[in-house]
Structure 1
Amino acid sequence: MYSGGGVTKEISYEDLKALVGKSQNLFLVDVRTKDEVDKGRIPGSVHIPVDTVEAAFKMEPEDFKAKYGVTKPPLDAPELVFHCQVGRRGGVATSKANELGYVNARNYAGAYREWSEKEGK
């Protein structure tokens, strides 16, 4: 499954929709600003703004849990997904996570814009 060349792995709306609410392993990170998140979010997502992703995923697990209220995913987390509003920041965050050793990190390229359109919100 290695894509080589540092190409960001992506996940489709359909695949993400299948995981949301059904998978215990899904760790969905919303990297948008607080203002954007306040207008609507994907259920179960954790808000970690894009400019803090690297620092967050370098934290000790107990510090991560204290700050975000959830258990820090392991490096081999099978379903680690990042998203933003239109796709670019999610890609940046996914690349950062890959660099830190999160081998399965993926970007939901359709982002919140596509999610909200398909969910009719």
Structure 2
Amino acid sequence: MRERTPIEVEALLKKNPILILDVREAEEVAQGKIPGAIHIPLGLLEYRLNELHKDKEYTVVCRSGGRSGRAVQLLESRGYNAVNMNGGMMAWEGPAE
């Protein structure tokens, strides 16, 4: 599984728009998210894959990195290009939306 640090994600966001997929629950996202992130809770991801594009790369984030790791495994098994953000939102220090 490929991974990126929050610092790498923030640097990429400053250069080019990248796709962030937030797999936390709604109440967690309500407390703050990475600007522009797509929100699909992990429990619904399998049922909402049609909202994602196989020709795009997604950086997946959750609270600490565990759920996003499972999401990356699911996405990769279905032919999607996904990267896990190490440490999740607990490690994110970028600007909140």
Q: Which of these residues, 1, 8, 32, is aligned with residue 15 of structure 1?
A: 8
CA root-mean-square deviation = 1.7
Unaligned ranges ≥5, structure 1 = 1-7, 65-71
Structure with bigger strand share is 2
Task: Tell me the CA shift for residue 21 of structure 1.
Answer: 4.6
Aligned residue in 2 for 1:52: 44
Q: CA deviation at 1:22?
A: 3.4
Q: Where does structure 1 differ by over 6 angstroms across 4 or more consecutive aligned residues?
A: none
CA distance in 1, matches of 2:15, 2:25: 26
- What TM-score results when the alignment is normalised by the length of structure 2? 0.87
Rg: which structure is higher?
Answer: 1
Percent pairwise identity: 32
> How many correspondences in the alignment?
96
SS in 1 for 2:36: coil
1:91 match: secondary structure: helix
Report the equivalent of 2:89. Answer: 112
Secondary structure at the residue paired with 2:71? Answer: helix
TM-score by length of 1: 0.71
Higher relative contact order (CA 8 A, sep 6+): 2
Matched residue type, 2:12: L
